Amino acid sequence: MSSCRWLSLSKDTKYGSKMALNMFRLRATCPVFWKVFQFRPLSCEPLIVQMSKCTDEEEIFDLIERNKATLSEKQVGHAFNVLWRLQTQKTSSLKNVESVRDHPQFPTLYNLTTNKIEAMSDDTLVNVLHIAQQFAVAVHDPLVESLVTEAWKRLERSLSVLMISISSLISQHFQEKLVKKTELLFDTIDSSQVTTARKIVQFLGNVKCSHFPLLERCDKVFLSNVNHLDLDSIRNILAAYRFLQFYSFAFILMAKKRLTEMIPLFNHPANFVKLFVTLGPLAGPQEKKQLESTMLLMSEELTSQQALEVVVAMEEMESRNSHLIKKIASVLHKNLENYTPTELLEITQTLIFLHFPSKEVFMKLRELLFSYLKVSVQVKEIVSLSCALSMLPSPHTDEAVMSRIEALLPQCDLSNLNDFATSVLRWIHYDHMYLSKFTGKQLKLLQKLDHYSCQRLQQSNNFHLLWEELKYSKGDWFHQLVVEETIAAFQCLMDEINYTNVARIGFFISRTNYLSTSLLDRIAAVVVQQIEKIHPFSILGIILPFSILNYDPPQKDEFFGLCMQCLHSHLGTLDPHTLVFLGFSLATLEYFPEDLLKAIFNIQFLASLDSQLEILTSSLSSRVQLRLMELNRAVCLECPEFQIPWFHDRFCQQQYNKDIGSMNGAQQQIYKLLAEILGGPNFVKASVLSPYYYAVEFECILNKRKKPLPYGTHNVTLGKPARMFWESNIQIVGSSLPPGAERIAFEFLDSKAFCRNIPHLKGKSAMKKRHLEILGYRVIQIPHFEWNSMALSTKDARMDYLRQHIFGEGTS
């Protein structure tokens, strides 16, 4: 009889309880008698030891079968541990997992586990959930659901631990319930419990849920307990925030200050690398210099992984320290064979970005990438290898690479297809440079990529799964057919758009430049119906497609009013650069909320924005400054009653003092025809800067009788910016003209000025026309599809086209 049988008997019957009590008394009073009879103790230890000694699945399943009537919850948990340990010691994990899951005795263990769930300790419960995931038990399986339900009951005892442990094992519905439960329980958490807040953030990262209210509350815990955050804590929090796209400028400033104080404290490579990687992307010029000089002294002591972390951080820092780049590249070069395909992709990207000049390193990289590609069987690896190879220019593309990609296409999801397409486009570009003969094969491969993308899109029946495949796709590689299929797929799943994903779909549509009025109307409807559930951090993603694509939904006033109402309480806490983007996006749509503009155009905010610009990448920093200038210009022109001053003269002069290059073919044609129509080159002015620094391609002046007026000696060389010829850079154009005269601005609109699918003018081009008209211009916009049409294929037709727009007549 098993020792557990005694335990079971003693628990389940009065006789058992009495017998057990007598046995313990006997042991206390007659130790000799106890030794003679040698009753087995009530411990389950021997069976656990036997399990630990098992060397294959058959042995462990045999033990389970023989002892199934007496197995305790602890033994059940240990059986899972041993089964998983045996799998990790073998090579083909996928095959082994299936063999265990399909074993005839696995249902026995399955049923035992289900019956023992309530008796399991938290650790055992969590462990069984984790191993169930490794054995690929589905999230909707009754066992997993039962484990999750039990964990749910225990949340108020060990909230954050259980959250992290079950995060990857539960369905999306359970994840949402768990997040809501956590939010309700947050008030019971001590504000000093940094560890709990950190684990909640980790859980949100595990389930890929950017639940902003919960993240905000965790952020407040971190900010009020700065002294309890060490380097590892700050590093992990920043990584989670970045992954979840949660931007807390207050936390970043705090982290920067705290990490800067740590610089003198670390002199060992292991710790200093962590500090370098965490602080580097946030550091100002002085801190970066200090970090780089210290890292230079340690560079030869770095391991291969440390060197990889450092070089990736240097890319984020936009480092131009050639000595340090050379040192780190040397460590990478020595260890190239130790890196995985994904890590080799990182190294390739980073060294190219850092302008590292060594051909030797790149040749070695190419050799390694090709060798890995020949033997790799995993889609993810082949995607990384192909992407890395496409970044290394070569006179020709190896056909074996193209064949490997082609063979994999049926297995690829949309994310893989996007990455492959990007690689193929790079190869086509290089082949044009080197006049290679393989472009035809690459174009055929691109067509197949489109085919499989469309096929996969047509089969999509779940919004969440479709989004997971598309969220990292930029959208610019798609051919028109694929864009249409993508939008069509989202339109079919439109009912699944709700407050949790409305901002994501908004951002995605913005990147495609495809105007789908039904999708945008759905976004607006979701906002109107569910605004109380939408967090202010989501508003930019919601507004962006309307701004970029220049579209007003049917309930325009209610929609924008609710968006601003949602933002109102967070105007003081939103990231400065986010607030600038919001202001510009709304201004594009002719929407100027006074409280938002007052929040932006004040000394305190602009000082805060300056602080943030120091830690943003140079490209993002430049974009933010440009949007602030454009917002400042829009407010001055469209809302002079707000009395917001124009303060971007110096910025604009720096921007427009750069050479803007020569005109394209269509612009040169237009210039020559305008000169001929108007009476000569001195009647048309090229490359003009308007008040408030709008670039005007061509300009002419007509008097009150519609006769052209000459410019005299004020004209400039084609393609070069002219000086502004008004007394004030903000003077209205008409004020410097003779009575009744008008100034006309001509603008050639290429494909970027229009939506991708229809000839609908996008937001920025519409705003420019509006602003030039406010400045006193009559604006003539010449769309590329009209200028390049068959109707305007002759010089005479184009002359008539221009005359019609200038004078309102078909012929002179």
**In this structure, are residues 232 and 208 in contact, taking their beta carbons and an 8 Å threshold?**
no
Q: Phi first, then psi: give them for residue 754, nearest 5 degrees.
A: -120, 160
Tally of CA atoms within 13 A in the half-sphere of 398 that contains its CB: 15
pLDDT at 27 exceeding the cut of 50 = no
More confident residue, 77 or 188: 77
pLDDT tens column, 737-759:
888 899 999 999 999 999 999 99
Lowest mean pLDDT among 78-87, 579-588, 621-630, 638-647: 78-87
Q: Is 624 exposed, middle or buried (0-12, 13-18, 19+ CB in 10 A)?
A: buried
pLDDT at 323 exceeding the cut of 90 = yes
Which element (helix H / strand E) includes 747?
strand 742-749
Which element (helix H / strand E) includes 745?
strand 742-749
**In this structure, are residues 747 and 697 in contact, taking their beta carbons and an 8 Å threshold?**
yes
**Alpha helices (runs of H) in 55-121, residue ranges in sequence order:** 57-66, 73-88, 93-101, 106-116
Which element (helix H / strand E) includes 606?
helix 603-613
For the CA atoms of 133, 138, 142, 148, the dihedral, rounded to the nearest 10 degrees, stands at 50
The pLDDT assigned to 37 comes to 37
Contacts 24+ apart (CB under 8 A), 406-413: 406/445, 406/448, 408/379, 408/382, 409/448, 409/449, 409/452, 410/452, 411/379, 412/379, 412/452, 413/456, 413/469
The CA distances from residue 413 to 75, 371, 404, in Å, are 41, 25, 16
**In this structure, are residues 373 and 334 in contact, taking their beta carbons and an 8 Å threshold?**
no
The pLDDT assigned to 434 comes to 62
Which residues touch 556 (CB under 8 Å, ≥6 apart)? none
pLDDT tens column, 388-439:
999 987 766 677 888 889 999 999 999 999 899 888 888 887 776 665 555 6
Q: Determine the residue type at 39.
A: F
- The 3-class SS string of 517-574 reads HHHHHHHHHHHHHHHHHCCHHHHHHHHHHHHHHCCCCCCHHHHHHHHHHHHHCCCCCC
Per-residue burial over 708-729, b = 16 or more CB atoms within 10 Å of its CB, e = otherwise = bbbbeeebeeebebbebeeeee
What are the counts of helices (DSSP H) followed by strands (DSSP E) for the chain?
A: 41, 5
The pLDDT assigned to 86 comes to 83
Enter the tokens of residue 215. 């993240």
DSSP of 170-236: S-HHHHHHHHHHHHHHGGGS-TT-HHHHHHHHHHHHHTT---HHHHHHHHHHHHTTGGG--HHHHHH
pLDDT tens column, 324-335:
999 999 999 999
Coil, strand or helix at 700: strand
**In this structure, are residues 785 and 759 in contact, taking their beta carbons and an 8 Å threshold?**
yes
Token pair 């990490």 is found at 259
The sign of the dihedral angle between the CA atoms of 230, 235, 238, 240 is negative
**In this structure, are residues 453 and 413 in contact, taking their beta carbons and an 8 Å threshold?**
no
The sign of the dihedral angle between the CA atoms of 200, 205, 210, 215 is positive
The sign of the dihedral angle between the CA atoms of 617, 619, 622, 624 is negative
**In this structure, are residues 762 and 549 in contact, taking their beta carbons and an 8 Å threshold?**
yes
In terms of residues, how long is the chain? 812
Which residues touch 334 (CB under 8 Å, ≥6 apart)? 304
pLDDT at 480 exceeding the cut of 60 = yes
Q: Phi first, then psi: give them for residue 121, nearest 5 degrees.
A: -75, 165
480, β-bridge pairs = none
CA pair distance 294, 290, nearest whole angstrom:
6
pLDDT band at 733 (very low <50, low <70, confident <90, very high): low
The sign of the dihedral angle between the CA atoms of 214, 216, 217, 219 is positive
Give me the percent of the chain exceeding a pLDDT of 90: 55
pLDDT at 18 exceeding the cut of 50 = no
Give me the percent of the chain exceeding a pLDDT of 70: 83
pLDDT at 510 exceeding the cut of 70 = yes
Enter the tokens of residue 589. 């749509």
pLDDT tens column, 125-149:
877 877 876 776 665 677 777 777 7
pLDDT band at 723 (very low <50, low <70, confident <90, very high): very low
